[in-house]
Amino acid sequence: MTYAGDSSIDARVREVVADYGRRQTRLFLTFALVEGVVLAVLVAIVYGLQLIDPEIGIWYIVAVALAGGFLLSMLLLRLMQARTRAIAQAKGENPLF
């Protein structure tokens, strides 16, 4: 356990790891909610309201899911890179790598 005045390298690294853990959790929750709503609306338009032909609509749904997966991968990659830089800074290593 650390106390408020603990400024050792290990304490700073633990704080960075905890902070980025919270950021990653928030990213996953926000992304899941937004992607879920978008896909639900698209499914409702294709199958519920039948505004788009289901044979073509399925491709829209697949495209949105693939784009969402790509976007999530890019966001996670950026978050991991930022976490690595923050840990290096907390350790006192070169922050500009």
Residue 39 in this model has a pLDDT that exceeds 90: yes
- Categorize the per-residue pLDDT at 95 as very low, low, confident or very high, splitting at 50, 70 and 90: low
The pLDDT, as a whole number, for residue 59 is: 95
The Cα-based distances of 91 to 12, 84, 87 in angstroms read 8, 11, 6
- Categorize the per-residue pLDDT at 5 as very low, low, confident or very high, splitting at 50, 70 and 90: low
Long-range contacts of 27-34 (CB under 8 A, 24+ apart): 27/75, 27/76, 27/79, 31/68, 31/71, 31/72, 31/75
Q: What pTM did the predictor assign?
A: 0.77
